[in-house]
A = this chain, B = another copy of it.
Amino acid sequence: MLIVQKFGGTSVGSLERIEKVAERVLETVNRGNRVVVVVSAMSGETNKLISYAKHFTPTPEKREMDILLSSGERVTSSLLAIALNAKGQKALSLSGRGAGIRTDSNHTKARIENIDPTPILSALDSGNVVIVAGFQGVDEKGRVTTLGRGGSDLSAVALAGAIGADLCEIYTDVDGIYTTDPRIEPKAKKLDVISYDEMLEMASLGAKVLQSRSVEMAKKLKVNLVTRSSFNNNEGTLITDEDKIMEKPLVSGIALDKNQARIGLIGVVDRPGIASDIFQTLADANINVDMIVQTVGDSRGDNAGLTNLAFTVSRDELENAKKCIQKFQSKNEVQDIEINDNIVKVSIVGVGMKSHTGVASKAFATMAKEGINIMMISTSEIKISMIIEERYSELAVRALHSAYELDK
């Protein structure tokens, strides 16, 4: 098999850890595989370099930041090459440039435009393990760029797609994807397999393991992703195409998103196009609106012709969203604004929902039984999300986990 293995910062966080990675790569080679390794900077290095730059200015040139930050991955890649060669395994390190990764010129958050697979494939043909410095590429002019948060995962997935790898393994300090956060529900089980779409819906469960950006690219390039731990030999979780999953579970997991805030607009003038105006203003400010609920206003007395509107945004966008809405308030098109950031979103995710009924009603019944008020609901083909009060977070997750028998 042709395998891409990506090791994150904690996996290469010390010389001893790099030695362990070399051993694991060697085992993979000795089982008859050809291996491309993508590495992050040693944990702490990138933050150290950022703090160096911030010593001089809070807003360092992005172009220079890319030169600065890309050095961390280069160090790890050459050290791993040295470690493998020391064990008698031919290995060659390549920078993003050397690996043929071409990006746009959007420094510090560049997008991969294309990858020339030739340098990696020819180094593999010469019997090398190829080690690629993750997180980086070069733009059209040959300037170094970096890919932003989760960039090394992205390098790995994109490279796996470009060279037609059979598997892309993402090594972290976590065993894989769980049915829910094990810190909330100790009975949470590691999933053997999950579809790209479920994984995307469970972003909050997997955020520490894998960013949506990488899952989306894996889905697009049909790359079989595995997330597993570099600290043990446990099998990880395979993230793949739904069609390749034989036995589709009704519910795969319960996700909890605490980065939620609800904005209620009281007394919205009921003129045609008002909702569209409000959400366009938010979109123009780059604010992602998640759930929206509109309730018909009181038709009697002073409130005649008024309606209420509520929507959720992520908490870090709350301030910006408030500013957008205040424009409508000052035009007297909105009477009052109600902010609630003591809410969370709990979601039930599973591809099996498509062909089964009763999943939603079980969720509502479970909430009712626990006395938890559901403030907002949204559903998709493979997900049911509910907004509830933050204090019920853990209770709701545990109750749903048990109701769908995910601990069995």
Q: B57 touching A78 by the CB < 8 A rule?
A: no
Q: Does A68 sit at the interface, judged by CB under 8 A? A: yes
Across the interface, which residues of B come within 8 angstroms of A86, CB to CB? 56-57, 60
Q: B85 touching A55 by the CB < 8 A rule?
A: no
Q: B56 touching A79 by the CB < 8 A rule?
A: yes
The CA-CA distance from A83 to B74 in the complex, in Å, is 23
Q: B15 touching A55 by the CB < 8 A rule?
A: yes
Complex interface bits, A92-119 against B, C-beta within 8 A gives 1, otherwise 0 = 1101001000000000000000000000
Complex interface bits, A129-149 against B, C-beta within 8 A gives 1, otherwise 0 = 000000000000011100000
Please list the residues of chain A having a beta carbon within 8 angstroms of any beta carbon in chain B. Answer: 15, 18-19, 22, 49, 52-53, 55-57, 60-61, 63-65, 67-68, 70-72, 74-75, 77-79, 81-83, 85-86, 92-93, 95, 98, 142-144
Q: A82 touching B60 by the CB < 8 A rule?
A: yes
Sorted from nearest, which 9 A-B pairs have the closest CB atoms? A57-B86, A68-B78, A67-B78, A71-B71, A60-B82, A56-B83, A64-B78, A56-B86, A15-B55
Q: B67 touching A85 by the CB < 8 A rule?
A: no
Across the interface, which residues of B come within 8 angstroms of A143, CB to CB? 98
Across the interface, which residues of B come within 8 angstroms of A64, CB to CB? 78, 81-82, 85, 93
Across the interface, which residues of B come within 8 angstroms of A85, CB to CB? 57, 60-61, 64
Contact of A52 among B22, B63, B79, B98 (CB under 8 A): B79
Q: What residue of chain B has the Cβ atom nearest to residue A119's Cβ? A: B142
Q: Given contact pairs A56-B83, A98-B142, enumerate 18 new A-B contacts (beta carbons under 8 Å).
A: A15-B52, A15-B56, A18-B56, A52-B75, A53-B79, A53-B82, A56-B86, A57-B85, A61-B81, A64-B78, A64-B81, A65-B82, A67-B81, A68-B75, A70-B74, A71-B71, A71-B72, A98-B143
Across the interface, which residues of B come within 8 angstroms of A55, CB to CB? 15, 19
A339 smallest CB distance to B (angstroms)? 37
Q: List 21 A-B contacts (CB under 8 A).
A: A15-B52, A15-B55, A15-B56, A53-B78, A53-B79, A56-B86, A57-B82, A60-B85, A61-B85, A63-B92, A64-B78, A65-B78, A65-B82, A67-B78, A67-B81, A67-B93, A68-B79, A70-B74, A71-B74, A71-B75, A95-B144
Across the interface, which residues of B come within 8 angstroms of A60, CB to CB? 82, 85-86
Across the interface, which residues of B come within 8 angstroms of A63, CB to CB? 92
Across the interface, which residues of B come within 8 angstroms of A56, CB to CB? 15, 18-19, 22, 79, 82-83, 86
Q: A67 touching B71 by the CB < 8 A rule?
A: no
The CA-CA distance from A85 to B82 in the complex, in Å, is 36
The CA-CA distance from A143 to B55 in the complex, in Å, is 32
Across the interface, which residues of B come within 8 angstroms of A49, CB to CB? 75
Q: What residue of chain B has the Cβ atom nearest to residue A70's Cβ? A: B74
Across the interface, which residues of B come within 8 angstroms of A18, CB to CB? 56
Q: What residue of chain B has the Cβ atom nearest to residue A72's Cβ? A: B71
The CA-CA distance from A118 to B98 in the complex, in Å, is 23
Across the interface, which residues of B come within 8 angstroms of A70, CB to CB? 74
Across the interface, which residues of B come within 8 angstroms of A142, CB to CB? 98
Q: What residue of chain B has the Cβ atom nearest to residue A59's Cβ? A: B86
